């Protein structure tokens, strides 16, 4: 037992006594002693404390070992954190454990994992993400002091009490005791353990706080693994989609080329048929319908070529401010009165781009934004400049360096993740019947052809932001984006020169041969390069013009032109192709060669031939 001494301190006393008896066995009294065993008691208490401390350390060591096994054995990010939250909660014998990521930039606390004990009362309902303004002083203290906060229902922490959140935690949620332990501090936020006990009040000792420090290291390892796994999955998905888009691009380009050949024949023959009909002939209406349908189909092939990056791209240094000023005047009537257009161009460098194709891409994006706002809204277009590091650039398939970003944001309905995964695919559309599904796909192809890339962020109910990234301009003169007038030459009535036509598509070959023949030209027609070489060798007179397709079996049109030009230096050359981008490759190989993009009309064919023949060769 204990006695309080004169110094008001307590002493442990051990008393021993033994009864004494007379010879006749009658009780005579006691004999005993009293010993001060305070020092012994202190030693025993110290031993017990060390024993308890050792047991806790062994328990915590086993817990940390289980956490390590969970980190190395699980692949799913949510599975790892959920397992760590469960192990931590069981080790500390608490009733709820939360792992939260606090993002200062987004001003949100995001729940990463939650574990609840089976004994957790109904009051301990599932937690959700929350805005940091719910706990402004508490989270600021955790960020600045980097120390844990403990609070109890009967003695709330002053931080919680001063901001008014103690009532929310202890009364509304029914938390009797809590400990918030911050860790993993970064430039934009930190991670947080939120440990809650509902059934009774409890405290967290020094050993438990040290244990939390070790657990924080484990969770940091888990978060690093999660980020690595996520980055690897993102890279694999990006590669898969890149290969998919590349395959679709090749397919789209091939399909467009084939369609251009057919459309050239359809449009051309329809034009010849119309010219042969009298002005009052009722059949002219049907011929006009054929030509209109052909023109609409040509628009589709142009969009396919844009997606496949097969259009001509003339890069120049473009001033984004001027570009957006011109674009704004174009977009305002297109968007309609119920859609507000806000343009904010940030002063900065120019960008390397094809002004016309960039305008086309931005118009497609803006029209998509309008369609996402059936009841009206706002389309905001802004510019900024950023430097992409090597890793980011490689992820998007571009060279690292300074990029100009043009953002088009809307306040529309937004898109879910399933829709986002397909937005750049041709023919994919979320619109009602009538949508072509080419808006974003053609924009994607146009931007990629200019050495840039497109990113897209969207969320249902929160609108969509499309960002077009293009390399910044060099130090040369920046082109003021705008529309250059196109000079059209009058259509010639024909001629008498000799024209060698080489085309592997029979329908196009027949059309060109008949058209030129009816215009008075002497036509030599061949379906492939070998036949053209034979006809050229047999022809005794001049061949004034070679009109040849570019892509042909065995020998290409450019190779044929080079061979014939060696023996006929005054011969003019026009290349035909469904790939408009062939114009640049041709220009590099053969000087003064003309180019006729498929599909073409009879008027375009006649004009190109006459222009080429009228050029003076020096």
CATH code of the domain covering residue 124: 3.30.450.40
Domain assignment present for residue 479? The answer is no
Looking at residue 425, what is its pLDDT?
Answer: 63
* Domain region containing 436: 316-471
Q: Which residue has the higher pLDDT, 348 or 252?
A: 348
Looking at residue 121, what is its pLDDT?
Answer: 65
Domain assignment present for residue 388? The answer is yes
Give residue 461's pLDDT band: very low, low, confident or very high (50, 70, 90). confident
Are 444 and 552 contained in the same domain? no
Domain assignment present for residue 594? The answer is yes
Give the pairing of strands 545-549 and 572-577. parallel
Are 328 and 183 contained in the same domain? no
Are 360 and 268 contained in the same domain? no
Mean pLDDT over 182-188 rounds to: 88
> How many C-beta neighbours within 10 Å does residue 580 have?
18
Residue where a domain stops, chosen among 175, 204, 233: 204
Are 420 and 518 contained in the same domain? no
Estimate to the nearest angstrom the gap between the alpha carbon of 374 and the chain centroid: 25
Are 81 and 197 contained in the same domain? yes
CATH code of the domain covering residue 273: 1.10.287.130
Are 457 and 345 contained in the same domain? yes
Cis peptide before 599 (omega within 30 of 0): yes
Residue with tokens 């017990």: 48
Domain assignment present for residue 69? The answer is no
Are 301 and 326 contained in the same domain? no
Cβ 463 vs Cβ 410: under 8 Å: yes
Q: pLDDT at residue 160 above 70?
A: yes
Are 283 and 320 contained in the same domain? no
Q: pLDDT at residue 60 above 60?
A: yes
| Radius of gyration of the chain measured on its C-alpha atoms | 41
What domain count does the chain have? 5
Are 19 and 93 contained in the same domain? no
* Share of residues in the chain with pLDDT > 90 (%): 20
Looking at residue 537, what is its pLDDT?
Answer: 92
Looking at residue 302, what is its pLDDT?
Answer: 60
Domain assignment present for residue 43? The answer is no
Domain assignment present for residue 265? The answer is yes
Nearest residue to 521 (alpha-carbon basis) of 544, 499, 548: 499
- Ranges assigned E (strand) in 477-569: 498-502, 522-526, 545-549
Give residue 487's pLDDT band: very low, low, confident or very high (50, 70, 90). very low
Mean pLDDT over 425-432 rounds to: 52
Are 112 and 247 contained in the same domain? no
Domain assignment present for residue 596? The answer is yes
Residues pairing with 270 in the sheet: none
Q: pLDDT at residue 413 above 80?
A: yes
Residue where a domain stops, chosen among 273, 288, 307: 307
pLDDT digits (tens, 9 = 90+) for 119-143: 776 654 545 788 888 999 999 999 9
CATH code of the domain covering residue 592: 3.40.50.2300
Are 461 and 519 contained in the same domain? no
Domain assignment present for residue 221? The answer is no
Mean pLDDT over 563-580 rounds to: 85
Least confident of 8-17, 61-70, 263-272, 477-486: 477-486
- Between CA 139 and CA 165 the distance in angstroms is 12
Give residue 77's pLDDT band: very low, low, confident or very high (50, 70, 90). low
Cβ 85 vs Cβ 114: under 8 Å: yes
Q: pLDDT at residue 151 above 90?
A: yes
Structure tokens at 578: 């469904």
- Between CA 374 and CA 376 the distance in angstroms is 6
464 three-state secondary structure? strand
Residue where a domain stops, chosen among 277, 307, 337: 307
pLDDT digits (tens, 9 = 90+) for 281-340: 888 888 888 877 777 676 666 655 555 445 555 678 888 888 888 888 888 888 888 889
Dihedral in degrees, nearest 10, Cα atoms 508, 510, 513, 514:
-120
Looking at residue 364, what is its pLDDT?
Answer: 81
Looking at residue 195, what is its pLDDT?
Answer: 92
Are 257 and 183 contained in the same domain? no
Q: pLDDT at residue 431 above 70?
A: no
């Amino acid at each position: 037992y204990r006695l309080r001494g004169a110094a008001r301190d307590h002493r442990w006393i051990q008393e021993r006594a033994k009864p004494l008896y007379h010879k006749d066995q009658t009780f005579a009294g006691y004999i005993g002693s009293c010993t001060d065993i305070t020092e012994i008691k202190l030693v025993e208490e110290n031993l017990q404390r060390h024993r308890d401390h050792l047991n806790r350390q062994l328990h915590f060591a086993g817990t940390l070992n289980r956490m390590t096994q969970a980190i190395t054995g699980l692949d799913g990010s949510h599975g790892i954190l959920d397992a760590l939250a469960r192990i931590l909660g069981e080790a500390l014998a608490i009733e709820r454990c939360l792992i939260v990521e606090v993002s200062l930039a987004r001003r949100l606390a995001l729940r990463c994992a939650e574990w609840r004990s089976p004994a957790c009362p109904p009051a301990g309902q599932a937690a959700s993400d929350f805005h940091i303004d719910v706990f402004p002083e508490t989270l600021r203290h955790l960020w600045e002091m980097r120390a844990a906060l403990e609070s109890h229902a009967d003695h709330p922490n002053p931080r919680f009490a001063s901001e008014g959140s103690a009532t929310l935690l202890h009364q509304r949620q029914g938390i009797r005791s809590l400990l918030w332990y911050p860790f993993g501090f970064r430039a934009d936020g930190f991670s947080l353990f939120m440990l809650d006990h509902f059934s009774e009040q409890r405290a967290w000792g020094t050993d438990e706080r040290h244990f939390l420090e070790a657990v924080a290291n484990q969770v940091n390892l888990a978060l690093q693994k999660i980020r690595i796994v996520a980055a690897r999955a993102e890279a694999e998905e990006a590669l898969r989609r890149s290969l998919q888009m590349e395959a679709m691009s090749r397919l789209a380009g091939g399909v467009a080329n084939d369609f251009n050949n057919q459309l050239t024949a359809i449009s051309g023959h329809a034009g010849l048929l119309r010219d042969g009909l009298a002005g009052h002939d009722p059949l002219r209406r049907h011929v006009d319908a054929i030509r209109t349908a052909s023109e609409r189909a040509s628009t589709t092939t142009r969009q396919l070529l844009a997606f496949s990056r097969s259009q001509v791209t003339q890069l120049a240094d473009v001033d984004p401010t001027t570009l957006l000023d011109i674009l704004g005047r174009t977009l305002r009537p297109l968007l309609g009165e119920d859609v507000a257009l806000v343009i904010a161009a940030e002063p900065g460098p120019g960008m390397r781009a094809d002004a016309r194709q960039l305008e086309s891409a931005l118009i497609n994006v803006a029209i998509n934004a309008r369609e996402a706002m059936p009841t009206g809204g706002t389309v905001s277009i802004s510019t900024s400049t950023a430097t992409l590091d090597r890793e980011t650039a490689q992820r998007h398939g571009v060279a690292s360096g300074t990029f100009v970003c043009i953002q088009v944001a809307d306040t529309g309905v937004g898109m879910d993740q399933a829709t986002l995964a397909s937005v750049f695919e041709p023919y994919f559309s979320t619109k009602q019947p009538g949508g072509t599904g080419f808006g974003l796909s053609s924009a994607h192809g146009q931007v990629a052809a200019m050495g840039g890339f497109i990113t897209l962020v969207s969320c249902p109910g929160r609108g969509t932001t499309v960002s077009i990234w293009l390399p910044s301009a060099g130090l040369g003169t920046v082109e003021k984006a705008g529309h250059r007038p196109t000079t059209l030459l009058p259509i010639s009535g024909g001629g008498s020169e000799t024209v060698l036509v080489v085309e592997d598509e029979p329908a196009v070959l027949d059309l060109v041969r008949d058209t030129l023949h009816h215009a008075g030209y002497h036509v030599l027609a061949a379906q492939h390069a070998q036949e053209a070489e034979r006809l050229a060798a047999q022809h005794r007179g001049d061949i004034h013009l070679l009109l040849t397709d570019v892509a042909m079996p065995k020998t290409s049109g450019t190779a044929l032109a080079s061979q014939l030009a060696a023996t006929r230096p005054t011969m003019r050359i026009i290349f035909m192709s469904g790939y408009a981008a062939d114009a640049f490759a041709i220009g590099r190989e053969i000087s003064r060669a003309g180019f006729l993009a498929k599909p073409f009309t009879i008027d375009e064919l006649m004009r190109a031939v006459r222009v080429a023949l009228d050029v003076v060769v020096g």
